[in-house]
Amino acid sequence: MVHEPGPMIPGRQAPPPKPKRFYAEAAAEERDGAFALVLDGRAAKTPAKRPLALPSRAAAEAVAAEWNAQVEVIDPARMPLTRLCNTAIDGVAEQMAAVADEVRTYLTSDLLAYRAADPAPLVLAQARAWDPVLDWAREAHGARFVLAEGITFVAQPPATLAAMGSAVDGVVGSGAGAPFRLAALDVMTTLTGSALLALAVMQARLTPEDAWAAAHVDELFQESQWGADAEALERRERRWADMRAAAMLGRLAG
pLDDT band per the 50, 70, 90 thresholds, residue 3: very low
Q: What is the CATH number of the domain that holds 128?
A: 1.10.3580.10
pLDDT band per the 50, 70, 90 thresholds, residue 16: confident
* Average pLDDT estimate for 36-49: 97
Inter-residue contact 172 to 140 (CB < 8 Å): no
pLDDT band per the 50, 70, 90 thresholds, residue 254: confident
pLDDT at residue 41 greater than cutoff 60: yes
pLDDT digits over 99-146, tens only? 999 999 999 999 999 999 999 999 999 999 999 999 999 999 999 999
- Identify whether 57 is part of a domain: yes
pLDDT at residue 9 greater than cutoff 90: no
- Identify whether 86 is part of a domain: no
**How far apart (Å, rounded) are the C-alpha atoms in residues 25 and 14?**
30
Domain match, 49 and 74 both: yes
Q: Which pairs count as long-range contacts for 12-19, CB under 8 Å and 24+ apart, including other chains?
A: 17/73, 18/73, 18/74, 18/75, 18/76, 19/73, 19/74
* Average pLDDT estimate for 148-155: 93
Domain match, 117 and 156 both: yes
* Average pLDDT estimate for 59-64: 98
* Average pLDDT estimate for 179-201: 98
pLDDT at residue 209 greater than cutoff 60: yes
pLDDT band per the 50, 70, 90 thresholds, residue 8: very low
The confidence score (pLDDT) of residue 205 equals 97
The confidence score (pLDDT) of residue 11 equals 58
Domain match, 58 and 99 both: no
- Identify whether 125 is part of a domain: yes
Domain match, 74 and 101 both: no
Q: What is the CATH number of the domain that holds 38?
A: 3.30.2180.10
Domain match, 57 and 144 both: no
Query: Which of 169, 155, 197, 84 lies closest to 92 in space, CA to CA?
Result: 84
The backbone torsions φ and ψ at residue 36, rounded to the nearest 5 degrees and listed phi first, read -90, 150
Residue 55 is given by DSSP the state S
pLDDT, the chain, mean = 93
**How far apart (Å, rounded) are the C-alpha atoms in residues 80 and 159?**
36
* Average pLDDT estimate for 40-47: 96
Question: Which domain does 47 fall in, by range?
Answer: 26-78
For residues 226 and 171, the model is more confident at: 171
Number of structural domains found in the chain: 2
The confidence score (pLDDT) of residue 36 equals 97
